[in-house]
Chains A and B, each alone.
Chain A
Amino acid sequence: MTRDNIRKAALAAALALSVLSSAFCADLPTREITSNNIYGFAGSGDTLWMVTDQGLNFTITASDTLTWLGYKAPLAILSLGFGGATAVACLDTMPFKKIGKLWYYGHVAHSYDSIALPFKPDSLPHAGVIRGLGVTYGGGAFWLACVDGGLVRWDPAGRAMQAFFPGVKRVFDPAAVRFGSADSFTVFPDSSKQVIAVGVRNVSVDSLALYALTPAVLYRFFPGDTLWERLSSRLSSAPGAFDKYLELFSSPRSPLLFASIITATGNGAYDTLLYRYNGADSAWAPYTSSQYVTALTFGPDSTVYLVRKPNKNENPRILSAFSGNVKNETIRSEQSFAHRISLAMNDLSPDNISDVLYLPSSDTNGSFWIGTASSGVINNGLFFSRNEIHDEAGTVPFVYVHRERKIEGGLKESYAYPGILGGDFSNPTRSIFAYSLAKASKVSIAVYDWNMDLVRNVITNEDRRAGKDDPLGNGRSTDRTRDIWDGTNNAGRRVAVGVYYFRITAQTGERSFGKIIVAK
């Protein structure tokens, strides 16, 4: 689970201005979370968890028939970890509180609860921030990267929390930490102690080792001895000078260690590249020449899958596979990935790949998962490929999973989503008409204003399948690339803010009406 990608889920949190909620509880488990905006993964064995914009979804991946259960999160989720039959989501309380909360769920016992990080808000200076930017599982406990709260260990069995601060031998009770006091830190905030990412190096309880990333230093931490070991930040052959760490990518299954590092290239310019740590010469070497790597997962046989942006201001959507520590792609090209993903969704391509995860089922087998989120509501969803890594020919397409509500056939139920067409955080500028025909037919969809004057012919006498023939299995007749309205009239002009009415008619005689609000 990468911090950068999870941050996508919290994008709107940065917009939040006011503070209200303090007490909350998780919604009841539901199968109705059908969000297809997926921002991050966590998983182990055959269990896959996903962060969506509605909350958490999880599924058992043992078969191709995925059965979902979801939990509506009360707040945006910053990071997600899974281990020991428990999933932990770090909630983004920052719009209104400096101290974050955890939301944890026992996926075997089907229990869930929330817990606040037990730091005292009063002790935090104004600029202080404590929240779970990253979470990982190791040694029977969860480890949280809590920024100014250091590295926090939480044992879900004992419910106890401990705080560790980089370079500090002492173990702290979070509730007793007094920032800025002589007893703890004389300088605050201290960026060398701000833990922004965490990774597990070794999961053995006896010899557990973690990585704790601060902006300036990457530490290897041995909690058994409270030993902090600084790794060198020397760049072996960089075009610029080390400036700061941005992100950490590690896996207990792999000896490879990666970091996104910002380097100063002179004249006030900066680059962000993916570097691999070479233990032999204690230096970081550039792993790819591509900038803007946003997600990475470790496959078998030293394979690394990574996602990057084509350009700085574009969404990450290029997925590549790299083998071992070589720079060039040796397994398959970026193009073949794009093509295979496109195949899964009828020649569309996702415009934002949020996260990727390889879930090993054995030393050589596993499933590969791609999560996407879309600025619209069309090109989003989940992709997976079983044993993807062994398909050398590159011809096996991904399976595309797009979850949708079941709707009643015969046009007995229809609606447009989103029903308010306007300035969403992801800026969707179009709504899709959801409907299900009893029989295949020619269909027309038209939009009218309050006075029932025609505003827009969305489609006119176009062939649509019966709902039962939906290839995605969601029982819909909707053509998700055509049955959309962008809030313009037949002349192509934006319509006025107001309520509009749509009519769906099929030549079989079925018809349905609905409402949609335009606020764009």
Chain B
Amino acid sequence: MPGAYLRSPVDAAAAAMGGAQSASPTCFSTWWNPAQLSLVDKRLFAFGAGLYSMGRTEAFSSLEFKLPPRVGIGLGALYRGDPFIDNLYNASEEKLDAGSFTTLTVKAGLSYLITRRLSAGLSIGFFYQRLPTSYVRTKLIYSDATAVGGFTLAAQYKVTDSLMLAVIVRDVNPLQMLTGSPASIAMEWQVSPSLEQDYGSADAGGFGSPSVITDMVMPVFVLASAFHGQLQGKPLEWTCDLNGYIVDGTFTKLDHMEAQLSSGFEWQRWNTFCLRAGLGDILISRDITSDWGFYARNFTFKLAAGFGWELSKVRKGLTLNYAVSTDKVWAGIDQKLDIVYKF
């Protein structure tokens, strides 16, 4: 699916809960749920990094603050990529130079508290990707693609003091509809042809006529909940995210609609230390009924765990979060570490 790199949970707290944190993000609400921005206490700054299996990496930073009484604003930037693409070969089985995949996503969000229980928000994004898309003998030729105007639209409703619900649509671009196009984020790549032979120049775009390939990022529809209760007299949060993939990038209904369910909890077992765990990306698709054998063979999910450690002795409002999870294909583990500072 286009935009696969956008689907993983961003921060460590969310990752430790299986990626189910849209209804009550710890940080980076601009990404998760911009409607949450108006519920932020004062200001929040977070930064962190992740190392995934197979050499995939990420880093992020976010800033959120409230403009009392009803407005919240957020900014965030996320790098994701794979800087270790080092085992590629050309058609003649010569090893290609090492390469990397780089993405940068920047989002700015705005939220408004409509009532004491209801808030709405939106964020707008800038997307950048860079990838080797061809080669000349063993030298990689890179292409990049950018898109501006990807929106996340969100509404959040506090049903009771212990239950929060959220509805979010990620990665759509309604402005495109003004031009009669689908409300999609279009990533346009200029791809030069690969050459097994070196003709003396390896400038990107210097060989042949590059073809334009347009990928439309697939929108995601999210239903999310967060329930606050107690376990052994200690605060417990239980969260669920249901990510639905209903239409493709051109807003055409998918032949094979599917959804992914994620769920997790956070237990504040000690005053300064909480435990988190969850299951992520549990696939719910038509295959469950139509082709159980296929589904069972390919059924994967993330098993995640982590903790949050308040470093109030270092600085008040500072929290260290860590998450570890399986990667769904058993190639290794995914780890994340971040710092959240409320001030």
A→B interface (CB under 8 Å): 9, 12-13, 15-21, 24, 32-37, 52-54, 73-76, 92-93, 95-96, 377, 404-405, 415-420, 422-426, 428, 434, 446, 448-454, 457, 460, 491, 495-499, 501, 503, 513-517, 519-520
Contacts and interface: CB of A to CB of B under 8 A. Distances in A.
A498 B5 contact: yes
B181 interface: no
B134 A420 contact: yes
A404 B80 CA distance: 35
Contacts of A448: 328-329
B162 to A, nearest CB: 32
A428 B87 contact: no
A452 B329 contact: yes
B104 to A, nearest CB: 14
B117 interface: no
A422 B191 contact: yes
Given A449-B4, A497-B189, A501-B54, A15 B281 contact: no
Nearest to A77: B197
B96 interface: yes
Interface string B308-343: 000000000000000000011101000000000000
A515 B85 contact: yes
B56 to A, nearest CB: 7
A517 B196 contact: no
Interface string B170-184: 000000000000000
| Interface core residue of A75, A96, A454 (most chain B CB under 10 Å) | A454
Given A422-B133, A453-B1, A517-B131, A491 B196 contact: no
B93 A34 contact: yes
Contacts of B244: none
A19 B101 CA distance: 28
B235 interface: no
B233 interface: no
A54 B200 contact: no
Interface in B203-249: 203, 206-209, 211, 213, 215
Contact of A418 (B89, B203, B211, B256): B89
Contact of B199 (A36, A95, A501): A95
B161 interface: no
A34 B92 CA distance: 6
A54 to B, nearest CB: 5
Given A17-B206, A514-B87, 10 more contacts: A15-B208, A16-B207, A20-B200, A415-B87, A417-B89, A417-B90, A424-B196, A449-B4, A515-B88, A517-B85
Contacts of A416: 89
Given A424-B91, A491-B255, A16 B199 contact: yes
Contacts of B129: 497-498
Contacts of B194: 418, 420, 422-425
Interface residues of B, number: 65
Give 9 closest A-B pairs by Cβ, nearest first. A419-B88, A21-B200, A519-B133, A15-B208, A496-B2, A449-B4, A35-B92, A53-B196, A20-B201
B213 A18 contact: no
Contact of B134 (A17, A514, A519): A519
B8 A451 contact: yes
B94 interface: yes
Contacts of A32: 94
B80, B137, B197: which has the most chain A beta carbons within 10 Å? B197
B56 A424 contact: no
A503 B206 CA distance: 34
B154 to A, nearest CB: 21
Residue with the highest number of chain B CB atoms closer than 10 Å, among A54, A73, A415, A499:
A499
B168 interface: no
B298 A457 contact: yes
Contact of B89 (A13, A415, A423, A425): A415
Contacts of A53: 92, 196-197
B131 A519 contact: yes
B187 A76 contact: no
A96 B202 CA distance: 13
Q: Output the residue of B87, B140, B187, B209 with the most chain A CB within 10 A.
A: B87
Contact of B200 (A75, A457, A496): A75
A287 to B, nearest CB: 33
Interface string B274-298: 0000000100000000000000011
Given A12-B199, A491-B255, A497-B131, A515 B331 contact: no
Nearest to B80: A450
Nearest to A15: B208
B328 A453 contact: yes
Interface string B1-35: 11111011000000000000000000000000000
B187 A425 contact: no
B290 to A, nearest CB: 13
A497 B191 contact: yes
A154 to B, nearest CB: 23
23 contacts: A13-B197, A13-B199, A33-B92, A52-B92, A75-B197, A96-B201, A417-B89, A417-B90, A423-B194, A424-B195, A425-B194, A428-B91, A450-B8, A451-B7, A452-B300, A452-B331, A491-B255, A491-B256, A496-B1, A497-B131, A515-B88, A517-B131, A520-B191
Contacts of B53: 452
Interface in B124-140: 129, 131-135, 137, 140
Interface string B136-150: 010010010100000
Contacts of B189: 497, 519
Contacts of B134: 420, 422-424, 519
A498 B4 contact: yes
Given A21-B200, A75-B198, A457-B298, A419 B90 contact: yes
B215 A496 contact: yes
A15 B193 contact: yes
A428 B133 CA distance: 14
A450 B198 contact: no
B130 to A, nearest CB: 11
Given A15-B193, A418-B89, A501-B331, A95 B131 contact: no
